[in-house]
Chains A and B, each alone.
Chain A
Amino acid sequence: MQQAMIDTDLSTELRQYLGLGGLEVLLGLAEVVEIPAGGRLTTDGQGVDSLYLVLDGVFDVSIQEGGQSIRLGRVGRGKWLGEVSLFSGHHQASASLTAESTGKVLKLRHSDFQALQREHLEVAGNLTRMMIGTLVERLRKSVDTPILVGAASYSVAGSEDIQQIQHKQGLTGRLMALIQKVLGVEGGKR
């Protein structure tokens, strides 16, 4: 039943790692959840208890820092979310995820992943292998020489020394570009 809610491309990709039986096991534990436009999947710094796979829609990614909400970019279909929380043991969201339009996610609670480990070790191992690729890619990108990207430009209020601010904005932009990479977020306009 749930398999019908995953499009063919995504289903094929999942089957490559999990096999047909493994995919059925995963879908038996997970649930498909619809998120209305404007709905929050996670809130930066708040508790998170599930792993998500974006099945449909686009989610806006932002962080709250220094009393400001800073938009980092967006994530879409096929993206896993919450895997760092799951494996690191730090069950706090590293960003806020808000649906730009009605979205659909596959939700697997951390407790269900533990059950998967106990009862279907091979499926848990294969699912983990699938996510390791993403973790490796993000880690490698996060230590590359930082590049200031346009998407990370940042507005400030008030300025006495515009040159100093521009210099600092550059540093801030570089940091934000790195945070984007760590979180696996693509820049881009809404």
Chain B
Amino acid sequence: MILRNFLKTMPGLAQCPDIELERLAKAMRVETFPAGHTFTYEGRSNHEMFLILEGRVRACHYGEDGNCHDLKFLGSGEFFGLLSLYDHGPASAACIAVEAVKAACLPYLAYQTLIHTSAPIGHYFQLAVAHQLARDLHERSASLRESLKQQIEEIVIPPMAHGAAAGDTPSKPD
């Protein structure tokens, strides 16, 4: 697989000239990780971001109950390990290889150089990162909405049972 060609298929990078993609590809290191490999540990700093080329990665978060809850499964063409690189905080989730994963890794310093450069690749790369973050937020929102919908369906007693129009009852958030 030629990494430059793979990058070209990603949202935000499709319009990027090949010569610029080649610069990005050269800054990345392609590596294969075995199933069960932990890329990031929740609460610890990570020093690189990853782009999945092949395989699946499980992102999970330790809840109050001490169990690791799945946040999402990531697949080919998805970035992870982005938050720490932007705000220098600890990883918000553990990311673990579900199966053998081939990933392109971008070290923190190379990443900083890329995004602070005025070269076109810096701007294209910002767009690719924004696409990933927005997709993550969209999925998080959709999953929370689905859970909320289920909760509401369980809470609201059918109107006929109590003679009250439950569906018409406005919420009182404050």
What is the interface of chain A, defined by CB distance below 8 A to chain B? 63, 65-73, 83-90, 94, 117-118, 121-122, 124-126, 128-129, 131-133, 135-140, 142-145, 151-160, 165, 168-169, 171-172, 175-176, 178-179, 182-183, 187-190
Contact A132 B166 (CB under 8 A): no
Cβ-closest chain B residue relative to A135: B133
Given the complex of chains A and B, what is the CA–CA distance between A127 and B90 in angstroms? Answer: 26
Interface residues of chain B, those whose CB is within 8 Å of chain A, are: 11, 15, 61, 63-64, 71, 82-83, 86-87, 89, 92-93, 115, 118, 120, 122-124, 126-127, 129-131, 133-138, 140-141, 144-145, 147-149, 151-157, 159, 161-162, 164-167, 169-174
Give every chain B residue within 8 A of A153 (Cβ-Cβ): 172-174
Task: State which of B71, B129, B169, B174 has its C-beta within 8 Å of the C-beta of A157.
Answer: B169
- In the bound complex, how far is the Cα of B170 from the Cα of A169, in angstroms? 15
Quick one: closest B residue to A95, CB to CB?
B141
- Summarize B's interface: helix, strand, loop or mixed: helix
Which of A72, A136, A168 sits near B133, CB closer than 8 Å? A136
Q: A154-B173, A157-B159 are in contact. Are A125 and B123 (CB under 8 A)?
A: yes
> Are A87 and B174 touching (Cβ within 8 A)?
no
Report whether B134 and A135 are in contact in the complex, using a CB–CB cutoff of 8 Å.
yes
When A and B form their complex, which 6 residue pairs have the shortest distance between CB atoms, in order from nearest?
A125-B123, A87-B134, A66-B152, A158-B162, A157-B166, A158-B157
